[in-house]
A and B are shown apart, each in its own frame.
Chain A
Amino acid sequence: MTTSTTDATGTDRTGGQERGTGVGSDTAVDLTPDPEHRGNGLRPAATTPEQVDPTEPTSPEPVEAALAVVRSYTDSKVPNVSRADRLRSRQVSDFAVPTGREEEWRFTPLHRVSALFEPAEALSGVGVRVRTDDGAVTVSDHGPEASLVRPGDRIAVVAQASAGVRRTVSVPAEHVVAEPVRVDLVGTGGRGAVDLVIDVGAFSKAVVVIDHTGDAQFAGTVGIRVGDSANVTVVSLQSWDRAATHVGQHDAVLGRDSTFRHVAVTLGGDVVRLDVNVEYAGPGASSECFGLYFADAGQHLEHRLFVDHSTPACRSTVTYKGALQGQDAHTVWIGDVLIRKAAEGIDTYELNRNLVLSEGARADSVPNLEIETGQIEGAGHASATGRFDDEQLFYLQARGIRPLQARRLVVRGFFAEILQQIGIDDVQERLLEVVETRLTDAALADPQTPETRRTEETTV
């Protein structure tokens, strides 16, 4: 039995960070309440130690790992504040332009998104088109005060104030929208800001696909209201041109007994940073957040999740998977889960996996779990970063499958779990095609891969 440090408020925290370009370890945490410790916090278990020795695929013993957690937490000078204390405000003046030393900005290349910090009038660089064949779905414009997002950082608050388009998609109560509603956000090259409201009434069901394409310096806010017992899926595709920048905040508020799924797929853009916040307005709601990202050379793709459990008997899962290849491909995944005192009987699990396909890429993965009540069903997280598994590739090749095809199978398998969540065939196929094209390109460009070696031999 191990315990973590407990601060004055009785809050147990575990936090870990993995920086991987090497073979990662794979650790899982199970924070199922222990009867002996009921009401006395929970036992944190292993998370990934900060330094992963690339030559040593170790799986640390729980005790050691817990020590590593405490150490990395202490060493990393993370301010000892709860995620609950993080500022949310609609006043631009409440947020200073960040310096890069702030905890929530330390991974982001600020100079590449600096254009997004300054307020402006009605930014129109990104157009919005909503497509639906369902007559009951209403599309309208709203004023700044009707935004559902409570900005959590400088760019979000500027985006909300500077939005050139503010659009609401509403689904009435007790209505099932059969086909996905498509929201196309198309960049035309300049600065753009859009505020979206997705408002789904009680007992209704809808899937909304937000597709970001084109080129832009974009800051967007999306507020999602999930009515009581409603079932809502929001798929956000960051399919930008390579030069685009996108910083966005998605806030979802879940009604009693509702079901919410959020799927973020980030393949395009130069810098993409997406905050996804889930809050519960009543008991019994369930949230699943999925993510898939693939960073090529020079791309910075950052996903920050915050699930705020404030009501009893809710569930949440976060499952993000990423692949990286090429020099200075950088991905960041932050998974914050807060279980407040009132959130009894909840169950939460978050997972992040990264597949590093070449040298020079870097994946940061930081799960954080704050637990203020011991009366829960379960809480856990897992994070792992690794290379292609040579044994998997050997196994497939030993059955006659060529290296490139074997890599495709492995990556396709790696992402399958996430892609299946989208549930829209044409979208899944399009995304899979992008992923496979990238693998082909990389295989041809990377002199270390056997395929290329063989080509050279045949030329000689």
Chain B
Amino acid sequence: MTTLEIRDLHVSVTADGEAKEILKGVDLTVRSGETHAIMGPNGSGKSTLAYSIAGHPKYTVTSGTVTLDGEDVLAMTVDERARAGLFLAMQYPVEVPGVSVSNFLRTAKTEISGEAPVLRYWVKDIREAMASLKMDPAFAGRNVNEGFSGGEKKRHEILQMKLLRPKLAIMDETDSGLDVDALRVVSEGVNAIKAETGLGLLLITHYTRILRYITPDFVHVFVDGRVAEEGGSELADRLENEGYDRYVTASA
């Protein structure tokens, strides 16, 4: 059983020499087996939350705490957070020229599990995981994210999640840029990982359509750097019909 606890989190970014507060006191608890959806209009701080938890150097935590099973996440380096069991599926995965997908995955798996995977199982694991995400086996020989289509990048993120087996995954706008078929494949992949490992999920999305495939237990509406409303999956349905207008108007 894993618990990610975020308490009164304040985060700033520095732009043009001026610190701007993006997160203004976020409280959130995600446990193993739970799926949380964070929804909100553009610029509400959803992605900032994701990247702050992962430790991106661009974001400065000014106050508050983030703990994973009581361990201070904010004191960890980016790679330590990943090895502690956190995973961030990125909205814009980064190209790493000259580094093949298979080399990258093997290196990451070795770091996360503390030892090199046994080759014959590993090859089989990769092959099966790729097949389940309907990825061409030739993919393994390509350079990380280089020349990948939007859909391929997202599948590659889910592939990593499947192989690295995190305790808790944050998915930042994984649904953006996916057509209906790709969205279904990716969502089924996530559901399968969840059924298999029982991980906790923090799903960040602007639209509700991914929630048709991945049913959230909790929905949090993010407005202006804090949670404006919380509820169950019915809240997502309401947002589907009404949009974010009433929150935006209220905060303005």
Contact = CB atoms under 8 A, between A and B. Distances in A.
A413 B98 contact: yes
B78 interface: yes
A454 to B, nearest CB: 7
A384 B108 CA distance: 29
Contacts of A413: 96-99, 143
B177 interface: no
A413 B164 CA distance: 22
Contacts of B96: 392, 395-396, 409-410, 413
A426 interface: no
A278 B77 CA distance: 50
A412 B97 CA distance: 9
Contact of A454 (B55, B77, B98, B104): B77
B88 A402 contact: no
A402 B56 contact: no
Interface string A379-418: 0000000000111101111111111011001101111110
A406 to B, nearest CB: 8
B94 A400 contact: no
Given A397-B82, A399-B160, A402-B79, A409 B99 contact: yes
A318 to B, nearest CB: 18
Interface in B22-59: 54-57
Interface in B92-132: 93-99, 103-104, 107-108, 111-112
Interface string A414-440: 111100000000000000000000000
A450 interface: yes
B135 interface: no
A146 B88 CA distance: 65
Nearest to A416: B98
* Of listed A397, A414, A416, A417, residue having the most chain B CB within 10 A: A397
B98 A414 contact: yes
Nearest to A453: B77
Contacts of A391: 94
B144 to A, nearest CB: 8
Contacts of A415: 98
A183 to B, nearest CB: 29
Nearest to B83: A400
Contact of A399 (B55, B97, B98, B164): B164
A396 B93 CA distance: 10
Interface of A: 389-392, 394-403, 405-406, 409-410, 412-417, 450, 454
23 contacts: A390-B57, A394-B94, A395-B90, A396-B104, A396-B108, A397-B78, A397-B82, A398-B90, A399-B104, A399-B112, A399-B164, A400-B111, A400-B112, A400-B164, A401-B79, A401-B82, A401-B107, A402-B111, A405-B111, A406-B79, A409-B104, A415-B98, A454-B77
Interface of B: 54-57, 77-79, 81-83, 87-88, 90, 93-99, 103-104, 107-108, 111-112, 143, 160, 164
